[in-house]
Amino acid sequence: MYAGPVGLANQIHDYNVHIDSNDVFWMIPVEHDAVKVDFDDPRASLQVNNLRVFDDHDLANSLTLGMGLPGDLGFPYPKIDPVAPVRATVSFDVEWSGIANHAQIKNSAQNFKGSFLSANATIKWSAEQPGFRFESEASTNLISVLGREQNGVFFA
């Protein structure tokens, strides 16, 4: 979330569930019914209410574990002050529908294969934490994908 034009230097909230102790990125188990998929129609939805997350303030602090970025050592990043995460809750309803494109992929380099659809998507979400509340009003799909895939040991 940004106060001003979208960009790291203007980011004021970054909600995520943190990387888990096994290095899986931003994934958290949810109820089976939270996800509904109809790959033939095709459409899908992800609905979760009051999920406990962290607000890391910005992506740089999220991915440097709260250490920020120095900004003065010749790297192409702005200076980002260190910020400790705070607890927050988010609720969201993401909907995928329609097909813009389709591909059958077998990628031996990345060990994954499957059927993939480029879909339209919308999101309605809200966040709440001490002193702040957010409610989304409009969204614009940039790229969204639905897939039926196999990877790792299931790739053959």
Partner 1 sequence: MNEQDSIARKKLEQRQLGRRNLIRVAAGAVVGAGLLRPNPAFADDDEHEQTARALTNPIPGFITPFKPFGVVVHHNPLKPANRLDMAHISDPSQITDFDGFVGLTHISGSGTGTNTVTGASAILAFGADMGFSQGKFIGIDGRHHEGTFAFV
Tell me if 3 contacts partner 1 by CB under 8 A: yes
* Structure-block tokens of residue 3: 């106060």
- Minimum distance of partner 1 from residue 9's CB (angstroms): 13
Provide the CA 105 distance to its chain's centre, in angstroms: 23
| Interacting residue with partner 1 among 40, 50, 108, 133 (CB under 8 A) | 133
Q: Footprint of partner 1 on residues 110-129 (CB under 8 A)? A: 110-112, 116-118, 121-123, 125
* CB-CB contact of 60 with 15 (8 Å): no
- Residue among 146, 144, 123, 125 nearest 134 (CA): 125
Tell me if 88 contacts partner 1 by CB under 8 A: no
Tell me if 156 contacts partner 1 by CB under 8 A: no
* CB-CB contact of 59 with 80 (8 Å): no
The tokens 């001490």 sit on which residue? 130
* CB-CB contact of 58 with 8 (8 Å): yes
Q: Footprint of partner 1 on residues 13-52 (CB under 8 A)? A: 15-32, 34-35, 37, 39, 44, 46, 48, 51-52
- Residue among 139, 10, 133, 16 nearest 66 (CA): 16
| Interacting residue with partner 1 among 40, 50, 74, 84 (CB under 8 A) | 84
- Minimum distance of partner 1 from residue 129's CB (angstroms): 9
* Structure-block tokens of residue 40: 């033939």
| Interacting residue with partner 1 among 50, 72, 74, 108 (CB under 8 A) | 72
